């Protein structure tokens, strides 16, 4: 697969390390001088910019956490005067104020380049049309993919999220080769095509670049077959730049995404102690920007759980690869003392052909006991096999195939995840769907009950 910046994407490991070290030294001196928050954090730890001679000294630096962005809301971590800014983005932030990030023109250039690399890795080529169904606005997804696609020389359809009927019509009329959106929205679109009797082979799309929320191989399979595409994973976060921190190569698709390491330095640390972990061990991904000017960020605690490997990948790229995100430390559910990530449950479902990767997890508390209900759709083919019944507890009790399936799902979850769940089998199409953006698959009602 042609790369967008082959010379940088295949830089030898020693050259890459040298470049990273040089950039880190510059970035550290830059923030120390320009961002009072960092000067104070360095001074408190007794660290001077000159102590950081290269990447090997990175661990001496303090972490930056989401709280630090909130505490300095809106522009407290910015390193440039206002007139040097070119754009502001902000993350949704479920409670209170959003986290705000800023870009210089140069930062936007880098943003476009890393997204162009990602699109090229995902199968995109100059002259292809990209149906960009990521949300436009303060969210980095829409404009981020847009800038990268233009940089690569693609034709962009800036449709944004939502209005599914119109999306379907425009895909059929414009015949784009590639789509960008959340994986849950790709599932929605696949279902809508199916409802209209459009077969995957009739859909012009060949590639899908999906991210902004955790997803699994089960979802990949449903999108691949539903839209007739090869879907790859794009990862990123606004604090670092937006989407395009890393991307899978369309010819690998083993869940490992190349991190554009000449701009973003990755570490994986122990969630409890913050100590760096050896390659291959799962922990919290910590990222340092090496070239950002408007809002450089050192050792940002993403909260995302993954591992990294520096083993060069088959594509010939030398950059480190990260595994698919297992979940975010904030997504972790503690159920009767057991730590559970929704993706663990989803991974179990992939092994059970009678169910679909459409579900909702509902947590309640009865007295002092946590109760978990998994509302889980049966697959289309199993639904036909059981005679398309309207599913209810009584129907399930009365039909041994359903009762058996329910029992099988809860046993597999108990064995693999370690918690007991009450499985409610539901009809195809009745679990929540993405209407354009990120999908919330967990309803935690425990605080309210």
Interface contacts to ligand ADP, rule CB under 6 A: 91-92, 139-140, 211-214, 233-238, 302, 304, 325, 328
CB of 96 to ligand ADP, least distance (A): 13
- Residue 128's binding partner among ligand ADP, K ion, none (Cβ under 5 to 8 angstroms by kind) is none
Quick one: 306 or 318, whose CB is closer to ligand ADP?
Answer: 306
Work out which of 143, 203, 218, 425 binds K ion, going by CB under 5 A. Answer: 203
- Residue 327's binding partner among ligand ADP, K ion, none (Cβ under 5 to 8 angstroms by kind) is none
Distance of CA 261 to the CA centre of its chain: 17
- Residue 92's binding partner among ligand ADP, K ion, none (Cβ under 5 to 8 angstroms by kind) is ligand ADP
Q: Rounded CA gap, 52 and 20, in Å?
A: 12
- Residue 52's binding partner among K ion, ligand ADP, none (Cβ under 5 to 8 angstroms by kind) is none
Quick one: 228 or 436, whose CB is closer to K ion?
Answer: 228
Q: What is the pattern of x (binds K ion, CB under 5 A) and - over residues 59-98?
A: ----------------------------------------
Instruction: Encode burial over 182-219: b for 16+ CB neighbours within 10 A, e otherwise.
Output: bbbbbbbbbbbbeeeebeeeebbbbbbbbbbbbbbbbb
Quick one: 149 or 234, whose CB is closer to ligand ADP?
Answer: 234
- Residue 228's binding partner among K ion, ligand ADP, none (Cβ under 5 to 8 angstroms by kind) is K ion
| Interface region with K ion, contact rule CB under 5 A, candidates 83-91, 108-116, 227-235, 340-348 | 227-235
Quick one: 235 or 359, whose CB is closer to ligand ADP?
Answer: 235
Quick one: 228 or 236, whose CB is closer to ligand ADP?
Answer: 236
Tell me how far CA of residue 375 lies from CA of 51, 351, 356, 414, in angstroms: 54, 17, 11, 16
Quick one: 213 or 354, whose CB is closer to ligand ADP?
Answer: 213
- Residue 235's binding partner among K ion, ligand ADP, none (Cβ under 5 to 8 angstroms by kind) is ligand ADP
CB of 206 to K ion, least distance (A): 6
Is residue 210 close enough to count as binding K ion by CB under 5 A?
A: no
- Residue 211's binding partner among K ion, ligand ADP, none (Cβ under 5 to 8 angstroms by kind) is ligand ADP
CB of 54 to ligand ADP, least distance (A): 27
Quick one: 60 or 350, whose CB is closer to ligand ADP?
Answer: 350
Quick one: 189 or 325, whose CB is closer to ligand ADP?
Answer: 325
Look-up of token digits 């919290």: 284
Is residue 189 close enough to count as binding K ion by CB under 5 A?
A: no
Residue 389 neighbours by CB distance under 10 Å: 14
Give the CB-nearest residue to K ion. 228
Is residue 226 close enough to count as binding K ion by CB under 5 A?
A: no
Q: Rounded CA gap, 223 and 186, in Å?
A: 6
Dmax of the chain from CA atoms? 73
Residue 97 neighbours by CB distance under 10 Å: 11
Quick one: 175 or 411, whose CB is closer to K ion?
Answer: 175
| Interface region with K ion, contact rule CB under 5 A, candidates 71-79, 201-209, 324-332, 438-446 | 201-209
Quick one: 248 or 371, whose CB is closer to ligand ADP?
Answer: 248
Residues in contact with K ion, counted by CB under 5 A, come to a total of: 3
CB of 359 to ligand ADP, least distance (A): 17
Quick one: 207 or 383, whose CB is closer to K ion?
Answer: 207
Is residue 214 close enough to count as binding K ion by CB under 5 A?
A: no
Is residue 228 close enough to count as binding K ion by CB under 5 A?
A: yes
CB of 91 to ligand ADP, least distance (A): 3
CB of 210 to ligand ADP, least distance (A): 7
Point out which residues bind K ion (CB under 5 A). 203, 205, 228
């Amino acid at each position: 697969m042609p790369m967008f910046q082959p010379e940088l994407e295949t830089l030898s490991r020693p050259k890459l390390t040298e470049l990273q070290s040089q950039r880190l030294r510059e970035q550290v001196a830059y923030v120390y001088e320009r961002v009072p928050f960092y000067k104070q954090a360095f001074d408190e730890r007794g660290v001077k910019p000159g102590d950081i001679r290269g990447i090997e000294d990175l661990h001496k630096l303090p972490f930056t956490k989401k709280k630090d962005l909130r505490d300095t809301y809106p522009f407290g971590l910015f390193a440039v005067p206002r007139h040097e800014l070119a754009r502001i983005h902000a993350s949704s932030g479920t409670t209170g104020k959003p986290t705000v990030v800023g870009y210089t023109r140069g930062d936007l250039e880098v943003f476009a380049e890393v997204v162009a690399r990602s699109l090229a890795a995902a199968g995109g080529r100059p002259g292809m049309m990209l149906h960009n169904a990521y949300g436009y606005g303060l969210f980095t997804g829409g404009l981020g993919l847009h800038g990268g696609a233009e940089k690569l020389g693609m034709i962009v359809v800036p449709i944004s999220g939502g209005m599914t009927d119109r999306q379907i019509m425009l895909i059929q009329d414009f015949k784009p080769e590639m789509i960008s959106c959340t994986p849950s929205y790709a599932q929605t679109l696949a279902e809508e095509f199916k409802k209209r009797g459009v077969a995957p082979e009739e859909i012009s799309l060949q590639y899908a670049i999906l991210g902004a929320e955790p997803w699994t191989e089960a979802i990949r399979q449903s999108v691949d077959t539903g839209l007739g595409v090869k879907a790859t994973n794009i990862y990123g976060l606004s604090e670092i730049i937006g989407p395009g921190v890393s991307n899978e190569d369309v010819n690998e698709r083993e869940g490992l995404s190349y991190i554009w390491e000449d701009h973003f330095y990755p570490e994986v640390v122990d969630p409890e102690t913050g100590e760096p972990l050896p390659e291959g061990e799962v922990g919290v991904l910590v990222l340092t920007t090496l070239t950002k000017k408007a809002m450089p960020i050192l050792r940002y605690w993403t909260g995302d759980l993954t591992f990294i490997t520096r083993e060069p990948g088959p594509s010939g790229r030398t950059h480190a690869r990260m595994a698919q995100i297992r979940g975010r430390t904030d997504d972790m559910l503690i159920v009767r003392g057991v730590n559970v990530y929704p993706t663990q449950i989803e991974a179990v479902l992939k092994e059970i052909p009678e169910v679909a990767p459409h579900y909702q997890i509902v947590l309640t508390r009865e007295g002092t006991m946590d109760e978990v209900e998994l509302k889980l759709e049966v697959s289309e083919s199993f639904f036909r096999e059981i005679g398309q019944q309207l599913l209810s507890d009584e129907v399930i009790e009365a039909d041994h195939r359903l009762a058996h399936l329910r029992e099988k799902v809860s046993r597999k979850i108990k064995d693999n995840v370690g918690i007991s769940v009450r499985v409610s089998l539901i009809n195809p199409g009745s679990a929540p769907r993405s209407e354009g953006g990120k999908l919330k698959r967990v309803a935690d009602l425990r605080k309210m009950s």
